[in-house]
Amino acid sequence: MIENKYEIIVNKDTQVFTRFPFEIPEGIEKMEVEYSYSPERPETGTWRNQINLAILDNEGNDVGTRGSQIRKLTISPNYSTDGFDRRVLVPGTWYAVIGIGRILTDEVSVELTVRLYEKEARWRAGDTHVHSVHSDGKYRYEELAKKAVKNGLEYLFITDHNRTVIGELPSEKGLTMVDGIEITYDNGHSNFWGLKKPFSGTYAVNTFEEWCELREQAEKNGALISINHPNCMKCPWRWQKEGFNLNSVEAWSGPMRPDNLRAIEWWDNELKKGRKLPMVGGSDYHRDYVVTNFLGLPATYIYSEGASKEDLLEGIRKGRTSVSERANDTFISIESDGKMIGDTLEFTGANTATITVKKLHKGHTLRVIDNDGVVLEYKAKKGGDYTFDVDVRRAGYLRAEVTYKPNFIHKFILDVMLSIMLPGQGFKKLPPLVYALCSPIYFD
């Protein structure tokens, strides 16, 4: 964090508005501006001095103002104080505008503090697949945003069926909201992320070739594409999955169940073919049922350079994703020779990789997997954080997952949920389920 303090003296002869320049360097994600002034009022009388503050960007455009009642404000691409635009903090000379509303003393000393926060590269948890009232969800954007923060999420992708975001997504502190749309056909569902209008014309096309044209247009415009719940028994991806570039696949959709296990198996087979395919999880959230809380189930962790939507999308493009049952629960990461999940290293025959598992639950099993199968398997005798070093056996990929066998109560709750959401899938014998899953690191 960079903090600079300035003092500006104004008096009755000063112009009504005084521009005070300050510099924003490269790599700044969030700005806080705070000011105070003295004296607030003359020694006698009831009226106060009134000094207002506005902010101009590097091109001299208004970013916002709120008057002297608001003395501290935040500006960022994702969240800004009411009355101020959400803005990318473009490097250059910005201005604080000191506005004189009223001066009753000979002069007023204004103390201005500007705090600049650099981008922070780290893992961020969120949900890539969420519906609102604008398709068949229960909640409005604002309600979803507040629920997401309450659930410990740091980003939320709004993906209504065949409906782009209406108006502007809300500004919620601590949360990045991303425009999206779920293109929904009988032959499959796909998320287009990142743009308010990713393509021209209509979503309503009838053939795979026409969908490919939409996808190509959206990608050229900067959108990111993911096919959803590809092996779902209710609404699978029926069109071809091979033979074209995929930005991502939703390998885990909603509560863990056999549909997701089949999707993970398909994804793993694609990795074995040499396809470097990032995966995500998404809750496909519409509403809750009685005591359930499905938003952020599962949570996708994205390793991103910053919190902006552009940074998050780039993290998915690079394959830097790890999916957990919930935010702040079991989490897997892999590193090798300074590289991480999504990266490609040269295979030397002497490579080693470090698998880190945070909050591994007692009785859950870590499985490290490469092209030839399971490299390492460990069942936790107690809960905690674990680190394992493994030799890389061959060129290809290395990924990890955590599995578990649900106890009676967990299985009963899952059976009830599946019976409501996906009739015919509840109250059946279950194999071990996945509790956490990460994208691979690659060795060529």
pLDDT in tens, 57-110: 999 999 999 888 889 999 999 999 999 999 999 999 999 999 999 999 999 999
pLDDT band at 40 (very low <50, low <70, confident <90, very high): confident
Q: How confident is the model at residue 428 (pLDDT cuts 50, 70, 90)?
A: confident
Cis amide leading into 39 (omega within 30): yes
347-389 confidence digits (pLDDT tens): 999 999 999 999 999 999 999 999 999 999 999 999 999 999 9
| Nearest by Cα to 82 from 170, 144, 158 | 170
CA distance 267 to 68: 56
Of 95, 116, 117, 101, the residue nearest 37 (C-alpha): 101
Question: Where are the CATH 3.20.20.140 domain residues in the chain?
Answer: 119-328
Name the strand (E) or helix (H) holding 267. helix 258-272
Q: Write down the pLDDT at residue 68.
A: 83
Domain with CATH 2.60.40 in the chain: 330-444
CATH architecture of 2-118: Sandwich (2.60)
Residues of the chain with CATH 2.60.120.380: 2-118
Q: Hey, which CATH number is domain 119-328, 3.20.20.140, 3.50.50.60, 3.30.1490.120, 3.20.80.10?
A: 3.20.20.140
User: CB of 421 within 8 A of CB of 229?
Assistant: no
d(CA 247, CA 226): 6
State the residue for tokens 């000011």: 35
Q: Are 434 and 402 in contact (CB under 8 A)?
A: yes
Would you call 140 helix, strand, or coil by DSSP? coil
Q: What is the pLDDT of residues 140-163, one digit of tens each?
A: 999 999 999 999 999 999 999 999
User: Which CATH number applies to 330-444?
Assistant: 2.60.40
What pLDDT band is residue 244 in, cutting at 50, 70 and 90? Answer: confident
With residue 208 as reference, give the H or E element that holds it: helix 208-221
